[in-house]
Chains A and B, each alone.
Chain A
Amino acid sequence: MSPDSSIDSDPSAEDPLKEIFGFLEKSFPEGAGESALPPELRQQMEKFAEGKIPLTEIEGLCSQILRSPESIRAFAQILGGA
């Protein structure tokens, strides 16, 4: 983490968001997980994780990922956090 990260230097700003997003994540419905993920989207996510998506296409890909909790969860798994 960057030493100038305001997240690290301001825990009071982070804590409420941890609660909020933690709660959001817990309230995800039990889905089919990665198997429900379109293979093309998964490929795009893997390219994204490697920094290989053109910057002009990132916003569109983010919108696709945000369409389902399974997609966000799968992307987090690809990034090693879920």
Chain B
Amino acid sequence: MHADSVFQLFPDPASTSGWQNLSTEFLSRLNEELRPRMISSLASRGASRDVAEDVVSEILAECVAESPRNLLSRFKGEGPLDGWLLRVAINRLISRQRRERLMEPAEIGEIESLPCESMEVMEEALQAIVSKALREAIESLPAEARLLLWLRHGYGIPQNRLCICWRSTPSKLSRALSSARRIVRDQTLRSIQTEDPGLHLQWQDISGVCSNSLLFSETRHVA
């Protein structure tokens, strides 16, 4: 559960009755504390104030909607709720602007000013920020740790096989991998926050960005 106090009031996602019993206090704080962050984040991605407020209002309304439209009922409890709702908002914004591009006829001279054009630029910018942060985080590790991560996570080499190479015990190797993962995670998120303070990505978001992008298409990433 998220450390932020507002999320301590969030019901257990496994509870089927929890969604009908959301406290007024939780919803009120969701609105007061999360709404400004979401609007700010969407605005930092080029959304107008009106569009950002519209998207966020739509999402928060779905948080209190009756089943099956209730948005929170789809939250599986994997990671913090605020990060999940933020991702929903960003995806909703992207979809909305793509839809607008398809629906709105445009003169050739107007194409450059269409919202979707800036969205594509923003997606590329997001991918570039994540790519750079990840590369730097991975490359900051000692060679042994980098190779361990590559073998374990890139190629699925069993841990006991790696123990033979390093003449180590499973627990020691496990700790080394955990430590390397923690460094990559923390440094990546820290770099992203430094690069774009308005960007509130969670670690789980990084994989989504990687799976949807052409990150690391250059050849120098392992050097």
A binds B: yes
Residues of A at under 8 Å CB distance from B?
1-2, 4-7, 12-25, 27-29, 48-51, 53, 55, 58-60, 62-63, 65-69, 72-73, 75-76, 79-82
In the complex, the answer to whether B216 meets A6 with C-beta atoms within 8 Å is: no
Cβ 8 A contact of B161, one of A13, A19, A69, A79: A79
How extensive is the interface on chain B, given as a class?
A: 35 or more
23 residue pairs A–B, Cβ–Cβ below 8 Å: A1-B158, A1-B160, A6-B177, A7-B178, A13-B181, A13-B185, A15-B207, A16-B210, A17-B149, A17-B184, A19-B206, A20-B207, A23-B216, A24-B154, A27-B217, A28-B219, A66-B222, A68-B222, A72-B151, A72-B222, A73-B155, A79-B155, A80-B161
- B135-152 contacts to A (CB < 8 Å): 142-144, 146-147, 149-152
Least Cβ–Cβ distance between A26 and chain B, in angstroms: 9
Least Cβ–Cβ distance between A11 and chain B, in angstroms: 9
Interface of B is mostly: helix
Tell whether B223 is near chain A: CB-to-CB under 8 Å. yes
In the complex, the answer to whether B151 meets A12 with C-beta atoms within 8 Å is: no
A66 in contact with B178 given A1-B159, A24-B154, A48-B165 (CB within 8 Å): no
> What chain A residues lie within 8 Å of B211 (beta carbons)?
19, 23
A72 in contact with B154 given A27-B217, A51-B165 (CB within 8 Å): yes
CB nearest neighbor in B for A49? B165
Q: Given the complex of chains A and B, what is the CA–CA distance between A79 and B147 in angstroms?
A: 13
- B175-190 contacts to A (CB < 8 Å): 175, 177-178, 181, 184-185
Tell whether B134 is near chain A: CB-to-CB under 8 Å. yes
Cβ 8 A contact of B167, one of A22, A51, A73: A51
A16 in contact with B147 given A23-B215, A25-B155 (CB within 8 Å): no
- B184-223 contacts to A (CB < 8 Å): 184-185, 203-204, 206-208, 210-211, 214-217, 219, 221-223
